[in-house]
Structure 1
Amino acid sequence: MSSYFKTFTAGVEQRNPHQPEFIQAVKEVVEDIIPYIEEHAKELIDQKLLERISEPERVISFRVTWLDDKNRVQVNRGYRVQMNSALGPYKGGLRFSPTVNLSILKFLAFEQIFKNSLTGLPLGGGKGGSDFDPKGKSDNEIMRFCQSFMTELFRHIGSETDVPAGDIGVGEREIGFLFGQYKRLQNNFTGVLTGKGPSWGGSYIRPEATGFGLLYFVERMFYENQNSLKGKVITISGAGNVAYYAAIKALSLGAKVITVSNSNGTIYDENGFTVEKLDYVNSLNRNLAEYTKRYPAEYHEGKKPWGFKCDIALPCATQNELDEQDAKTLIANGCMCIAEGANMPSTAEAIKVILKAKILYAPGKAANAGGVAVSGLEMSQNRIGQQWSTDKVDARLKKIMHDIHDTCVHYGKDSNGVINYLKGANIGGFVKVADAMRAQGVV
């Protein structure tokens, strides 16, 4: 470990106390980037480029007050982290969840820089959200919260400045309420948010994009290794959009999906899910145990899906859900590939185990970039006043994911032909941003 790495990470820890997720994300990236800088562009050290890229350009925090259905005043906190705009307007989702805090949003915004860079689209990195919990709220309560949230946020965003999207807790309904309030305040109809409904400026296959893109990336990894997904057994965590559409695409590619999960437990279906079964899971509204009353399967309360034998594991739920022991169990059970559908779902210790085992590993900043890729395509459609067909958007998405894969191979393949996709994603995402920052001077 170089002295610069130690000095840099110590500085990040000192400047960002009590922000473990953000520190974890920065360390994971710079472990690959610093050796690359020291070998190829040492002048970047003197230019403090890593210090600049790990410091947000702007952090906005604000109070969100709203009335619930009983006319009681509620108070939440809203955020927008505008991390880096070297490649284009800030781009990243809004997350509504009681787990939201500044550390999580800074880690997500930092990851977004590299993810957006890898897509090849002109997008900077940002993230935002609130500790508001939409679960159990009425549509009117969610509308009032969204309107209050946007009443502050609108002054900090714009179609050429910062273009938020959805994330956990923010779907098409919430985007609609947010967009309506922005339009009312600004008196114009502009592509300031992505994830809109297809009938009012949205792109086709936006809900499917992250899950579909994940499978396109994994399919390309297997092709690179003279293999295919046909007949492969897949375990998936999560039961939301990413997990659902990843499972749907996996089935279409000939794989067998045997688990879905949420924070309460895991369904294990030895016979494999079908589209009909997955649709039923979607209808259960988190009560996954009900699945076993209709189909022969097992429900494991409080258990994660990583204890079942599989060829491929797709963590699609949340950060740090797959730990060191989970990774060891998967590898011992013959898992040959772990690909991240969520943002940083594997702990730092788990990643070390995975890389040491030399199985295929697709980091989230590369593998789950499909969502922001289609968001970028939605921005393009809004600018030119067109709406592309499902087939055209899907084809563009597939090409972007294949290009991301090839970038990872280019920067991650060693002299023996072994590919480290994490290293390739980190360096490949960094190089483009670094070039832009150097060209734009010290700003």
Structure 2
Amino acid sequence: MSNLPIEAEFQQAVDEITQTLEPFLAKNPEYRKALEVVQIPERVVQFRVTWERDDGSIAVNRGYRVQFNSALGPYKGGLRLHPSVNLSILKFLGFEQIFKNALTGLMMGGGKGGSDFDPKGKSDGEIRKFCYAFMQELSRHIGADTDVPAGDIGTGGREIGFMFGAYKKYRNEFSGILTGKGANWGGSFIRPEATGYGLIYYVTEMLRDLDNTDWKGKRVLISGAGNVAQYAALKVLELGGTVLSLSDSHGALIATGEEGFKADDISNIATIKLARKSLTAFDAGSKFQWHEGKRPWTLVEKADVALPSASQNELNGEEAKALIKAGVRYVAEGSNMGCTLEAIEIFESSRKAVKDLTQTEGICFYAPGKAANCGGVAVSGLEMAQNSQRLKWTPAEVDAKLKDIMVTCYKTCWDTGKQYAEGGAVPSLVAGANIAGFIKVADAMRDQGDWW
């Protein structure tokens, strides 16, 4: 256990992993030492970032890179630019990233970084100056075979471009040191879509195994309005489902009719978000209702699937009960640690109550973010592979590889959960994900002498 309870988000992540690992650790007590070791980052880099505003004044922010674990490959994880960024959040994200990356089957370690810089309200020039100042220090600590950051909240294509350009100037090398790059200078097809598409590919397997069904006619609640939510929504529509909601930090947009969101609606929302505006700028008309300050989980009477895709701890215990009451049978996290521990316990309790797969009431099959949303980092790993080979795969090739990774990840979670988790006719995907990811990392650490 971490001895730093003030790091609330990190402690929550450690507690969640520890709790679900217990059935495995009881049978394999020697691995407790590995759990103790893996909680401590290999390296934490913290630095000052000073940059010049358009009016000539000097601003200062905190920069971070948590290089958590390199047992399986170079550190890999996003750079978050948001006022809420602190060491606790980055340690939580980096810790989760270790096991998420392990579940992809690719050679990637776990890390996370970013700054408390807020891109909102800044000019392109100010963002460029910040990115160059940020990369001036970060460039000392990353490399194609050392640490390969990516985008995250607040870090889109513009920011990745500025950071890549800064690295190239400081180090005089064109190298695959960031993923999420532009399509014509080292980026991969399907990377913007990857997390959302991968989420739907994962849930497709859940639908088949629990109810022998697919997306046709499914009513789907989605939170968030960024890349993950947008592309998850578009893939749901493609596969025949109905999207009932999208949301942002200001509130939730709920479809009032049976049609739900259409592709054109999602395209308009993407344009609004690209301009860094609130969903309140969307012309809802009579097809949608805006709920100020609300999240979608308690705003509809009937739904089948819930996909939290905004931020951590965005679905709590009371909302979990409301979803089950509304008939939701599937919850999968597009966001990292989207559900609170209380919500997870409620979903898992409903799963444990399943005696056979003919039971139809009060069941909620839950998938954690480290498995369900690993498609984004999986395609980042595929981008790294393409950069190493100096070639570019077609969209169809990348999408096929992504789907295969998500199906394999799901099967790993199902089989491991079936082996170790207690209760019910349905395996625990959260236990399966945590245990499978942990075993892979722990075994590599032992081979390399980090514990024995």
Q: Same fold (TM over 0.5)?
A: yes
Counterpart for residue 252 of structure 1: 238
Q: Distance in 2 between matches of 1:296 and 1:289?
A: 14
* Structure 1 residue matching 2:184: 3-state secondary structure: helix
Q: Distance in 2 between matches of 1:60 and 1:433?
A: 22
Cα deviations by residue, 1:100-135 (Å, 9 ceiling, x for unpaired): 000000000000000000000000000000000000
Q: Distance in 1 between matches of 2:24 and 2:418?
A: 13
Q: Distance in 2 between matches of 1:408 and 1:296?
A: 39
Task: Give matches, 1:341-356, under 5 Å.
Answer: 341-356=334-349
Q: CA deviation at 1:25?
A: 0.2
Q: CA deviation at 1:292?
A: 4.3
Q: Distance in 1 between matches of 2:110 and 2:391?
A: 25
- Give TM-score, length-normalised by structure 2: 0.93
Root mean square deviation, CA, Å: 1.2
Task: Give matches, 1:219-238, under 5 Å.
Answer: 219-225=204-210, 226-238=212-224
* Structure 2 residue matching 1:74: 3-state secondary structure: strand
Alignment of 1:185 onto 2:190: no
Cα deviations by residue, 1:50-73 (Å, 9 ceiling, x for unpaired): 111000000000000000110110
Alignment of 1:176 onto 2:161: yes
**Is contact 2:248–2:278 with CA below 8 Å preserved after alignment?**
no
Q: CA deviation at 1:315?
A: 0.3
Alignment of 1:69 onto 2:54: yes
Task: Give matches, 1:33-44, under 5 Å.
Answer: 33-39=21-27, 41-44=28-31
Counterpart for residue 401 of structure 1: 406
Q: Distance in 1 between matches of 2:72 and 2:279?
A: 42
Alignment of 1:142 onto 2:147: no
- Give TM-score, length-normalised by structure 1: 0.95
Distance 1:281 1:295, change over 3 A: farther
Residue identity in the other structure for 2:98: I
**Is contact 1:314–1:340 with CA below 8 Å preserved after alignment?**
yes
User: Paired residue for 2:289, among 280, 294, 298?
Assistant: 298
Counterpart for residue 253 of structure 2: 267
Q: CA deviation at 1:356?
A: 1.0
Q: Distance in 2 between matches of 1:57 and 1:293?
A: 48
Specify every segment of 5 or more residues in structure 1 that has no aligned partner in the other structure, as ranges. 1-8
Cα deviations by residue, 1:184-240 (Å, 9 ceiling, x for unpaired): 111110101000011000000101000000000000111122111111000110010
User: Paired residue for 2:76, among 51, 68, 91?
Assistant: 91
**Is contact 2:93–2:336 with CA below 8 Å preserved after alignment?**
yes
**Is contact 1:292–1:298 with CA below 8 Å preserved after alignment?**
no
Q: Distance in 2 between matches of 1:84 and 1:183?
A: 26
Alignment of 1:427 onto 2:435: yes
Counterpart for residue 269 of structure 2: 281
User: Paired residue for 1:112, among 94, 97, 104?
Assistant: 97
**Is contact 2:81–2:118 with CA below 8 Å preserved after alignment?**
yes
User: Paired residue for 2:377, among 360, 372, 381?
Assistant: 372
User: Identity of aligned pairs, percent?
Assistant: 55
Q: Distance in 2 between matches of 1:62 and 1:241?
A: 29
Specify every segment of 5 or more residues in structure 2 that has no aligned partner in the other structure, as ranges. 352-363
How many residues are aligned here? 428
Alignment of 1:330 onto 2:315: no
Distance 1:253 1:297, change over 3 A: same
* Structure 1 residue matching 2:139: 3-state secondary structure: helix
Residue identity in the other structure for 2:292: E
Residue identity in the other structure for 1:209: A
Residue identity in the other structure for 1:31: Q
Counterpart for residue 218 of structure 1: 203
Q: CA deviation at 1:253?
A: 0.8
Residue identity in the other structure for 1:92: G
Instruction: Between 408-417 and 361-370, report the one with greater CA deviation.
Output: 408-417
Counterpart for residue 391 of structure 1: 396
Counterpart for residue 26 of structure 1: 14
Q: Distance in 2 between matches of 1:412 and 1:349?
A: 20
Residue identity in the other structure for 2:67: Q
Distance 1:35 1:419, change over 3 A: closer
Q: Distance in 2 between matches of 1:132 and 1:280?
A: 27
